[in-house]
Amino acid sequence: MSQLIPKLKLVKRRWSALACVTLMILAAFVVIAGPSHAEGKRGGVLRMTMPTDLTQLDLHQTSAEIDNAVLSMTVYETLFTYDGNNNIKPFLVESYEFSNDGLLLTMDLKKGVKFHNGEEMTAEDVKFSLDRVRDDKLPGFHANNLKPVTEVKITGPYQAQLVLSAKMANLLNYLATDVGTIAVMCKKDLEANGNKVVTPIGTGPYKWVQWVKDSKVVLDRFDDYSSADGPVDGLLGTRHRYFDRLEYYVMKEPSTRIMALDKGDVDFTAILPYHMIDDLKKRDDITVYSALPPDAVWYMFYVNFNHPILADVNFRKAMAYALDRGEITKAAVWGYGTPTFSVISPKLPAYTPDLEKMAPNYDPEKAKDFLKKSKYKGEKIKILTSKNYTPMYDQVVAAQAMWAAAGINTEIEVVDWATHLARWTKAEHEILSFAMIGRMDPVAQTWNLSSCNYYCYKNDKVEQLRNQMNDTVDQEERNRLFREIYKITCEEVPYMINFYINNTGAYKKNLGGFTDFDAYRTRLWNLYFE
């Protein structure tokens, strides 16, 4: 987990696929934070670690989670966001309305919201920002996500409309996401700089000060901040901005981050080595957290449907029933994860406990029965993996022993990360060990079941259900449609999901304001020194 983010050249049409591991490694950088029951103390400098350096300053063009972790919701903000129950709520938007046919979204913006350069946010900035992320000429990945948006209209100084060519139930989700943020940027500043982000200027509670490459990032409190007020609920409500300054220090090695915490050089660090967590928990000078986020990374195996043996559903079921996901979770992440077969995190509304009962859970006898029904004759099946990400490799080692016990002969093939990605995108693998960043929306979460996957799976019924989800605004109906898709995956086993990983970190005891905010979003503005 200490590896640097691979430099991926994204294919826009399939951004979720290629960006997934780029995002996954640094998802744990985000801090569980929230308001305490009492008002916090103002002042001081909060010092944090970064597992890698920033890749760039333009959130419209980056897929790196580290860029989002530092800049999103601190420097920049979005039109919509999430409450404490992961429901989408307006943020920089005061109110909104869809037309009866679902093809027009009207947004009334908050008035008096200031950018860090003193300019007031208006519909001009919103249109400019949305048009910018929709521009195919820019090297971002939002253009495809917002493809149904054909036009952004200004219908008043503080009102904008999005014209759609087709219903888009997950539109608000894209406008709310803090991973690959569609941030609202200042039109005047960008136009003055040739449409390039020279100095990040947003509406967030902290403003940009400095970036020393491979060393640190510095942000200062924005005293004229006015975007949010009211009771804190998830990412809604007052952003107190207790600290005068936020300092992020690049420390690529976990041991270095923990040493810095020991010495008092930083106040908290994230992405703890799993094998060290148990010992860290015994200390009385720090607090260790481990929590499952709603968009948690899941570790899994893809199977190639072009392979004659893997195309046999009985063989795939034999493989699935042979896997003890609890033991795999222990082997790969020391138990700091949640065993599952579902692409939906238990923290999301679409998840229900009965999903796990439907799954092909560990049953050695069933595994052997399905193996007998299959066309398998003892052929060696290759498992492609990389050691760049330790859990990805460790789950293979654990699974290989389980498959061997069921009578399935496998061989581990280890390659470098670039080769691993290239062979995945070309479907040049048999079984592939992988990890995917979770998404908050059911449609986005099931992208790898669409016709745009990299393992040659196709199911017309699944495609139909995904299209229905995308056309359905009612959340309960969308959740029901997802569960129909899930039933199909349990029967067809197009892949084998093993576990979700927890995000982990540690902080000094004098840091107050931390809560068990399970949505796991950055709320640095509510932390303070006791």
Give φ, ψ of 250 to 5 degrees: -75, 115
State both tokens at 393.
């490799």
- CA nearest neighbour of 521 among 106, 120, 176, 17: 176
- Per-residue pLDDT, 140: 65
Confidence at residue 517, expressed as pLDDT on a 0 to 100 scale: 58
428-438: pLDDT as tens digits: 999 999 988 77
Q: How many CB atoms lie within 10 A of CB 409?
A: 13
**Contacts (Cβ under 8 Å, ≥6 apart) of 486:** 342, 343, 344, 355, 358
Q: What is the three-class DSSP state of 300?
A: strand
| CATH 3.10.105.10 residue spans of the chain | 298-501
What residue ranges of the chain are covered by domains with CATH 3.40.190.10? 12-291+504-529
Q: Residues 8-22: what's their mean pLDDT?
A: 37
Question: What is d(CA 134, CA 140) in angstroms, rounded to the nearest whole number?
Answer: 9
The token pair that represents 104 in the structure block: 């027009």
Q: Name the residue type at position 18.
A: L
Percent of the chain at pLDDT exceeding 70: 90
| Sequence-ordered list of residues with C-beta below 8 angstroms from that of 223, at least 6 positions apart, any chain | none
Residue 493 to residues 148, 381, 442, 514, Cα–Cα distance (Å): 31, 17, 18, 40
- d(C-alpha 371, C-alpha 392), whole Å: 25
Lowest mean per-residue pLDDT among 289-293, 462-466, 472-476: 472-476
pLDDT exceeds cutoff 90 at 170 = no
DSSP codes, 470-491: HH---HHHHHHHHHHHHHHHHH
In whole angstroms, what separates CA 12 from the centre of its chain? 17
pLDDT at residue 203, as a whole number: 97
In whole angstroms, give the CA distance from residue 501 to residue 335: 9
DSSP category for residue 231: S
CATH number of 298-501: 3.10.105.10
Taking alpha carbons only, the member of 292, 326, 300, 351 closest to residue 501 is 292
Backbone phi, psi, residue 465, to 5°: -65, -40
DSSP code of residue 49:
E
- Partnered with residue 208 across adjacent β-strands are 219
Instruction: Express each pLDDT in 406-419 by its tens digit.
Output: 999 999 999 998 89
Nearest to 144 by CA among 156, 135, 157: 135
The alpha-carbon radius of gyration of the chain (Å, integer) is 23
Pick the CATH number of 12-291+504-529 from 3.40.190.10, 3.40.50.20, 3.40.640.10, 3.30.70.360: 3.40.190.10
Query: Can you give the pTM of this predicted structure?
Result: 0.79
